[in-house]
Structure 1
């Protein structure tokens, strides 16, 4: 089993066949669950990539563990798609992970609208620290990152040493395009966040997510005006 502590950059380069229907995703997932079994956790934001990856995960492991970081600031549509996923895949183990501070407690300690005054600190409190807690002692986790999403993600590999969480991060969808994600979702009638139909290609917390006009910049609606591209879960 490959772990953070046994990682060797020269040895752990994994080339999966990508000339197939899922561009290697199912092969990566089969390998990952063979390696890590129940120790593998999927941290899912329940965007459209999440809908696709959940369907693929379910084909390999119907009892897979999925964690959602509930910041208490998500759109109602996000909670609705979680309920739809639970109904479609009742055997999946979906955990709603809460931050230690309520929004009201955060206001008391850091002031109003921390997502505007210091979005990095807000993300740290409501997403990064909760995922740290969730991944503590976990050898590997899944992510729905795609290379096409942003410049900070263009070099992501199927299997990555995750310095941030001292784990192995596995990204089965790295070669999928936006069109391929949607083609798969529609073909398989997957539940998805309806905000995607209204100009929200990338969906995070409601205060920090806007609709976009440029579909070629899928994350331009996130933290608009702050010069911020990532919440801190994924290092470049």
Structure 2
């Protein structure tokens, strides 16, 4: 049943303008709807288009405790521009962070992939589970061109691990198109973006891109392989 519904909705919103696709999808899901923002360029565009429907969507952000100062600055400017939008902040459990620092060190994530993933789990994945608990629809800023493993995504997908539907409204937007929306609507943008930080995460784990590097090369740059933190890796297309 869910498979048929998502196939139908994916066909319906294909080619639909963002301003029309978002309310259309919202009307087709009755349960709790959430939108996660990291205040990156994609999330800022979605914030602008979601703000008129804020009474129907719970907007949240994950504060890992290791954010850039510039991220907090754009957080404030976003609140100022969209005063009716309540952005709830979720933090990691202090005890989990303390135990990690004791066992791995304050910057232990540089030591191994496992240590880095554990840091991401504590600071991002666990708080995320609290934020999306009971939700039927989770709106994200994922785009196909961000990485190879996101090219096969669909607008609406069943997330088996989290038992909800994930909605990716900007999936087929190019970065140029996203930037055009930022300029057209004067949407607040993280000042790091124009310094080469196209994908912005925690300060110790993010650097500016070098010329010719792919979109997410600045994230966990000391590692090889897929650049994911565990928030967006559980999509099951078998429904």
Mark yes or no: TM-score above 0.5: yes
Secondary structure class of the residue paired with 2:11:
coil
Superimposed CA distance per residue, residues 139-183 of structure 1 (whole angstroms, 9 cap, x where no aligned partner):
111000001111011011111101231211011000110000111
1:131 paired to 2:128? yes
Secondary structure class of the residue paired with 1:66:
strand
Alignment-derived partner of residue 27 in structure 1:
20
How many residue pairs get matched?
226
Which of 149, 153, 158 matches 2:150? 153
Secondary structure class of the residue paired with 2:176:
helix
Deviation at 1:52, TM superposition (A): 0.4
Alignment-derived partner of residue 229 in structure 1:
227
CA distance in 2, matches of 1:99, 1:17: 36
CA distance in 2, matches of 1:151, 1:157: 14
Superimposed CA distance per residue, residues 195-234 of structure 1 (whole angstroms, 9 cap, x where no aligned partner):
0010100000001001011355111000012124111111
Alignment-derived partner of residue 184 in structure 1:
181
Contact 2:32-2:134 within 8 A present in 1 as well: no
- Choose between structure 1 and 2: higher helix proportion: 2
Which runs of no fewer than 5 residues in structure 1 stay unpaired? Answer: 1-5
1:69 paired to 2:67? no
Alignment-derived partner of residue 199 in structure 2:
202
Alignment-derived partner of residue 121 in structure 1:
118
Secondary structure class of the residue paired with 1:41:
strand
Deviation at 1:114, TM superposition (A): 2.8
Q: CA RMSD in A?
A: 1.9
Secondary structure class of the residue paired with 2:126:
helix
Which of 45, 70, 80 matches 2:73? 80
Which of 2, 8, 11 matches 1:7? 2
CA distance in 2, matches of 1:119, 1:16: 40
CA distance in 1, matches of 2:31, 2:50: 12
Task: Rate the CA distance shift 1:42–1:11 in 2: closer, same or farther, 3 A.
Answer: closer
Contact 1:16-1:24 within 8 A present in 2 as well: no
Secondary structure class of the residue paired with 1:40:
strand
CA distance in 1, matches of 2:28, 2:5: 16
Moved over 6 A (4+): none
Deviation at 1:38, TM superposition (A): 7.0
Contact 1:38-1:65 within 8 A present in 2 as well: no
Contact 2:35-2:58 within 8 A present in 1 as well: yes
Superimposed CA distance per residue, residues 60-114 of structure 1 (whole angstroms, 9 cap, x where no aligned partner):
x043321100000110111111111111111112101011136445312443313
